[in-house]
Amino acid sequence: MKKSLILALLLLVLISCGGGGNNSLETVLESNDVVALQQKKDELTTQQQALNEQLKQLDEKINELNPEKNIPLVTTFVANDTVFNHYVELQGSVETKQNLVVTSEMGGILQRVYVKEGDKVSKGQLLAKVDDGGMSQQLAQMQVQADLAKTTFDRQKRLWDQKIGSEIQYLQAKSNYEAQQEAINSMKQQLGKFVIRAPFSGTIDDVITEQGSVVSPGQTPILRVVNLSDMYIQTDVPETYITNVTKGKDVEVQFPVLSKTMDAKIRQTGDFINPENRTFKVEITVPNKDKDIKPNLTARLRINDYTNNEAILIPQSIISENAEGEQYIYVLENQEDEKAVAKRVIIKTGQSQGDVIEVLEGLKAGDSIIQEGARSVKDGQTVKIITY
């Protein structure tokens, strides 16, 4: 206010002095004399510099007479006990142990596919059949021979029971019959390898090879069967978390593609550290009632590896460090109304999450901590508290 008044008075004096006489601004402008114009400009510049110097002196005096000017303005918050959960953030992939590409045990022409994509199948259900190359006819012939051997054996047995005939004839008939039965069972087992059945209950996800194609044993993919009931997420966890990331820990699972978040738990942790990347495997159970979670889907994981039920949290931005490497912050003492004294406090910190960090030593619940302005105050300095 004082500065504005003085400036106005000086300007009035300047205007009044330049308003009359032959040296007024209007007279010089009308003269069109370059020398006179330059002289007038130099005169005004000198006056302006003099005014600036006077204003500077006035500012210094005002600051000297106003002690409030030098008191730092700060904002504060009160330290409180709160529950602090620390999370390990990782990325994983959805897996299922029942996701199988089915092949044939025997080679040949794929004679028939009995299912189509999307069909629900039960364990053991017939899915496809490969041409057996005439083995079915061979089995039929062997069955005829086996029937004859059985008839011969039955007759020899009745005679032997009546003590008629020789024992060797009975034993030969029995041996021949049993050999025929074993041959038939062996042939049936071989024929069974030409039939493809569902290894577990699930859904036909893909019919890969069409009927009439030639398939190779154990190599040509024919069908994919998937069961979405038992899904899990697998991820690699750094070995530094091996003592904290354990079976039963809570996990927050997010599927970005589905815009879906769910809570889950760790169901299994690996006992092997991969020497290449120093990680161990973790499996997380995934409920899949809606069947919208698919194998190989990407998931973001937040594994709760540490919890403190009585933690004091502060922003990391207010922490400073001294020459000895100690961390410190400022708290308030001797508070009266809006004024208080800043006190430097050495602290020991723990885990951090986002922009906050846990304080293990140096603070207690109820302490008033300087937040905004923390880096501009000194130990023992008076500060003024502002509120929003």
Tell me: the pLDDT tens digits for 106-159? 999 998 999 999 899 999 999 999 988 888 888 888 888 888 888 888 888 888
* Contact of 225 with 208, CB cutoff 8 Å: no
Closest to 251 (Cα-Cα) out of 202, 189, 194, 300: 300
Q: What is the mean pLDDT of residues 342-349?
A: 94
Q: Flag the least confident range among 62-71, 245-254, 315-324, 360-369.
A: 62-71
- Write down the domain spans for the chain: 2-70, 73-83+309-385
Burial (CB < 10 A; 0-12, 13-18, 19+), residue 278, is: exposed
**pLDDT value at residue 253:** 94
CB atoms within 10 A of CB 235: 21
The residue written with tokens 């999370």 in the block is 87
**Owner of token pair 């390898």:** 193
Report the distance separating Cα 371 and Cα 388, nearest Å: 13
Mean pLDDT of 47-62: 85
208: Cα within 13 Å, side-chain hemisphere: 15
Q: Judge whether residue 3 has pLDDT over 70.
A: no
Q: Which fold has domain 73-83+309-385?
A: 2.40.420
**Prediction pTM value:** 0.57
Query: Per-residue pLDDT tens for 95-108?
Result: 988 889 999 989 99
Task: Single out the residue of 323, 325, 372, 322 nearest to residue 344, CA to CA.
Answer: 322
Share of the chain above pLDDT 90, in %: 44
Say if residues 225 and 258 touch (Cβ distance below 8 Å).
no
Q: Max CA-CA distance within the chain?
A: 167
The proportion of the chain whose per-residue pLDDT surpasses 70, expressed as a percent, equals 92
The 3-state DSSP class for residue 114 equals coil
Label residue 260 by pLDDT band (50, 70, 90): very high
What is the structure's pLDDT at 65? 67
